[in-house]
A and B are shown apart, each in its own frame.
Chain A
Amino acid sequence: GAVVSQHPSRVICKSGTSVKIECRSLDFQATTMFWYRQFPKQSLMLMATSNEGSKATYEQGVEKDKFLINHASLTLSTLTVTSAHPEDSSFYICSARNGVTGELFFGEGSRLTVL
């Protein structure tokens, strides 16, 4: 079964609202989690690296005030898309690194549609 769970798997929201996506490691502690965005028929692009207990490191071109990342515990990271607009519609995927083994696991992804 999945060892990294994302919720919700699908979300539709109105333009201007904020949406929170959760990424949980189910049976291991993840000191580092990563958030990727994938537009239709495109590759995965890293948005930010999230380290437990510290501020996320954002990739160039990613607005930190728009995509708020919180990694408050060793098993949970959240991505909040603030004031969402239709161009934010995308597939968001998280990955979590097992702090002990170093293995990397991906969540199932969350498809965001902003109307």
Chain B
Amino acid sequence: AQKVTQAQTEISVVEKEDVTLDCVYETRDTTYYLFWYKQPPSGELVFLIRRNSFDEQNEISGRYSWNFQKSTSSFNFTITASQVVDSAVYFCALSEQGAQKLVFGQGTRLTINP
């Protein structure tokens, strides 16, 4: 069975600090996909990244970076020089090949204080 764990329920930091959101997953498949989504207070899900299980390269997109480590089944997300606009709930999700559906973690509520 697939499972995603985001152990950090809430994180609060001061603007300009770096912050890392943890994500640990479980799956029996060798082919799977990992995602991160941002959910601002308005509710819509904003897609951030999709990574397949065969691509362990770390990804950087502006202030965002992702560290995928199969050895520890983790797909952590780091925001560098955080900004108030980064405040949101962030979800990590997993999709097994062929299953199509996403299984979401519990979410991490990130608050960036000015």
Chain A residues within 8 Å of B, Cβ to Cβ: 32, 34, 41-46, 49, 91, 93, 95, 97, 104-109, 111
- Check if B106 sits within 8 Å of A109, measured CB to CB: no
- Check if B103 sits within 8 Å of A46, measured CB to CB: yes
- Check if A43 sits within 8 Å of B43, measured CB to CB: no
Q: What are 5 contact pairs spanning A and B, CB under 8 A?
A: A44-B104, A45-B104, A46-B103, A49-B100, A109-B43
Q: Min CB distance, B34 to chain A, in Å?
A: 13
Interface of B is mostly: loop
| B47 partner, pick from A91, A106, A107, A111, beta carbons under 8 A | A106
- Check if B43 sits within 8 Å of A91, measured CB to CB: yes
Is the CB of B91 closer than 8 A to any CB of chain A?
A: yes
- Check if A43 sits within 8 Å of B100, measured CB to CB: no
- Check if A34 sits within 8 Å of B101, measured CB to CB: yes
A104 to B100, CA, bound (A): 9
Chain A residues closer than 8 Å to B105, beta-carbon distance: 43
- Check if A106 sits within 8 Å of B45, measured CB to CB: yes
| A46 partner, pick from B44, B47, B102, beta carbons under 8 A | B102
Scoring B residues 33 to 52 as 1 if CB is less than 8 Å from chain A, else 0, what string do you get?
00001000001110100000
11 further interface pairs, Cβ-Cβ under 8 Å (given A49-B101, A106-B47, A108-B43): A34-B101, A34-B102, A43-B107, A44-B45, A46-B101, A91-B43, A93-B45, A97-B100, A104-B102, A107-B44, A108-B44
Scoring B residues 91 to 112 as 1 if CB is less than 8 Å from chain A, else 0, what string do you get?
1000100001111111101000
Chain B residues closer than 8 Å to A109, beta-carbon distance: 43-45
Residue of B nearest to A97 (CB): B100
| B100 partner, pick from A32, A105, A107, A111, beta carbons under 8 A | A32
A82 to B105, CA, bound (A): 29
Q: Min CB distance, A107 to chain B, in Å?
A: 8
